[in-house]
Amino acid sequence: MRETTGVRTTKGRGRLYDSVLETIGDTPCIRINNLAPPHVRLYVKAEFFNPAASVKDRLAINLIESAERSGRLKPGQTVVEATSGNTGIGLAMVCAQKGYPLVVTMAESFSIERRRLMRLLGAKVVLTPRAEKGFGMYRKAAELAAQHGWFLAGQFESDANADIHEATTAREILRDFEGERLDWFVTGFGTGGTVTGVARVLRRERPETKIILSEPANAQLLASGRAQGRDANGVANESHPAFEPHPIQGWTPDFIPLVLQEAVDSGFYDELAPVSGAEGVAGAKALAAKEGILTGISGGSTFAVSLKIAETAPEGAVILCMLPDTGERYLSTPLFEDIPADMNEAEQEISRSTPGQQVAAG
């Protein structure tokens, strides 16, 4: 029998799953070894371990199942939602498994691979004009729901959003850091569900943990101090005046979602930290090249903020940074614009170092 001494082994999860939906959650917190200053411990919560590779898988399952429980979603009814991509991909996975038709509205400015992933999972994707920003795709989804009697998932207002992070994401963090320090929790926001749900728990059970909320440097809606216009139901009814287009896809639509408003009103964060798109790209590239962790511009942005905190944090401090999704969602974005498909000169030189199997330079 062949010896395997010293080889890594695995044991399986000790259970069988009835569907892909049962694999959502329980994502790992991973230590950063090469990029973090030596006097701190910096961890990332890697949400790309979810089955459709983003934190929005959690939201997607709860949007659908809470609506099923309440009777608002009927068997076979079409689901419609506005999304920058990750929620749509998560919903497409959930709807494929449960048998609901899905229509997604998405501004044409978001990455092409997101559209293709949703379509691969069986969804229909209706594009809205770039100039109308996130509020445009949001209004289109509401129009379609009203016109056709479809179920509007409503990620920006639904109680199901923050509730799932309170019930899962926050509980995972508490368990993983049980008996350990946790000095900072760093996240950005799209709908605001992550920060609101996690902060509900951390404020009660780990009040010593400082919560840092990041937003794009050129689109600081919260830091502007300007209130969001809303209708009588609290739904945003206008584009926020502080918004500017930014490259951190999935973050900061051009309005302050109602889900996020709870975090604002309740004081669920200790500091707002602006970050530029360039810093986010650099952070994602550093994580890939130095840690072997593939995340998108949003994850790179929270990581860039976390590194700044780490630099001045006291000895022994512990920081947890949210990584919302995978870098493969960003192939057509600035994250990959300088990553060539063809061999560069160094790679060609390696190829020429032996005589066989050479490909001509492109």
Give the residue numbers annotated as catalytic, written as ranges. Answer: 56, 298
Spacing of C-alpha 14 from chain mean position: 28
Backbone angles phi, psi at 244, to 5 degrees: -135, 150
Asked if residues 301 and 22 have their Cβ atoms less than 8 Å apart, the reply is no
3-state secondary structure at position 214: strand
Instruction: Output Rg (C-alpha) for the chain, integer angstroms.
Output: 21
* Strand 210-216 with 271-275, pairing: parallel
Residue 273: which residues within 8 A CB-CB, separation 6 or more?
Answer: 186, 212, 213, 214, 215, 305, 308
CA atoms in the 13 A half-sphere facing the CB of 296: 26
Q: Which of 112, 149, 142 is nearest to 127 (CA)?
A: 112
CB atoms within 10 A of CB 159: 14
Query: Which has the closest alpha carbon to 236: 215, 213, 253?
Result: 253
Q: Exposed, middle or buried by CB within 10 Å (0-12, 13-18, 19+), for 224?
A: middle
Name which of 144, 151, 143, 100 is nearest 121 in CA terms.
100
DSSP run (H or E) holding 265:
helix 258-266
